[in-house]
Amino acid sequence: MTILETSGLTKRYGRLTAVDHVSLSVEKGQVFGFLGPNGSGKTTTIGMLLGIITPSGGAFRMFGRDGGDELHAARRRIGATLETPNFYPYLSGRDNLRVAARIKGVAEDRIGEALDIVGLTGRQKDAFRKYSLGMKQRLALAATMLGDPELIILDEPANGLDPEGMREVREIILALAARGATIFLSSHLLNEVERTCTHVAILRSGKVVRQSAVRDLVAGATVASVASDDLAALRRIVAEYPAATGTEERGDRLFVHLADDDLASLNRFAHERGVTFSHLAVEKRTLEDVFIEATAKDAVGGAA
């Protein structure tokens, strides 16, 4: 079931196209990472989904609904935080959640559970202004989950946190997903996304340049590093190898991008042509490698 779908969603600010024909599809149960460098259009896209920013073009559906009134109703099934959550600095964490619960029409007896999930039970009576950044982010997550939203939209939920804070946020997100929520989160913390998300879209200058399951993005992306005493012969056979999709040369090594992960076949191919490897190893690619490739200034665009 498709929970969120955008088609050709666009936002222009004068001559700048901040979000450029973004088409995304988020299915129920996914933890969907919306990735992109600074200024690539993540917050603007989320602002449009939440009805804070008016699109210049395109459309989107939530829970299969579009159009003004229907979207308004659909948004009640969403929990969201934008970059800087609004809380009253002088109120306690708990009282801030009471305000949030009242606005959302959620019973106050759900507050204890939300505080528990984000690990703020012990500090619930402290004023918000005394919270550390990590505690503020966790309180924002607690407010977001009030009312058991079916779709949770988070803009940079782990921004500015230390490794411990990031781990806590990751665990909260995974806990929400385990309870059945669909999650859409923007981030440029690739390690976090690789460990949390099931699917990603990568944005560059407002355009989606990749959209895929995390598993598929990182798999099908084996790089073999090879070396041989005869570098010229090595270059030649790698160029002829059918499953090679690209090569880079660093020092005396060739890094061969493969369409499969069959190193034995590469080895055999070379051997049959009289080239023996002095080194052959697989270099697993991370989401970071894929991200850097996809968002490089000279990268070729186009959704995968």
Ligand X SMILES: Nc1ncnc2c1ncn2[C@@H]1O[C@H](COP(=O)(O)OP(=O)(O)OP(=O)(O)O)[C@@H](O)[C@H]1O
Which residues lie near ligand X (CB under 6 A)? 13, 16, 18, 36, 38-44, 188
Stretch that binds Mg ion, among 38-46, 125-133, 144-152, 267-275 (CB under 5 A): 38-46
Closest distance of CB 38 from ligand X, Å: 3
Query: Which among Mg ion, ligand X, none contacts residue 40 (Cβ within 5 to 8 A by kind)?
Result: ligand X
43 binds Mg ion (CB under 5 A): yes
Closest distance of CB 159 from ligand X, Å: 8
Compute the distance between CA of residue 171 and CA of residue 284 in angstroms, rounded to an integer. 25
Q: 100, 84 in Cβ contact below 8 A?
A: no
Query: Which among Mg ion, ligand X, none contacts residue 57 (Cβ within 5 to 8 A by kind)?
Result: none
**Residue (53 or 91) nearer to Mg ion, CB:** 53
Query: Which among ligand X, Mg ion, none contacts residue 160 (Cβ within 5 to 8 A by kind)?
Result: none
Query: Which among ligand X, Mg ion, none contacts residue 44 (Cβ within 5 to 8 A by kind)?
Result: ligand X
Closest distance of CB 222 from ligand X, Å: 30
Stretch that binds Mg ion, among 35-43, 100-108, 163-171, 227-235 (CB under 5 A): 35-43
Closest distance of CB 46 from ligand X, Å: 8
Closest distance of CB 155 from ligand X, Å: 7
Compute the distance between CA of residue 2 and CA of residue 55 in angstroms, rounded to an integer. 21
Query: Which among ligand X, Mg ion, none contacts residue 98 (Cβ within 5 to 8 A by kind)?
Result: none
Residues that bind Mg ion (CB under 5 A): 42-43
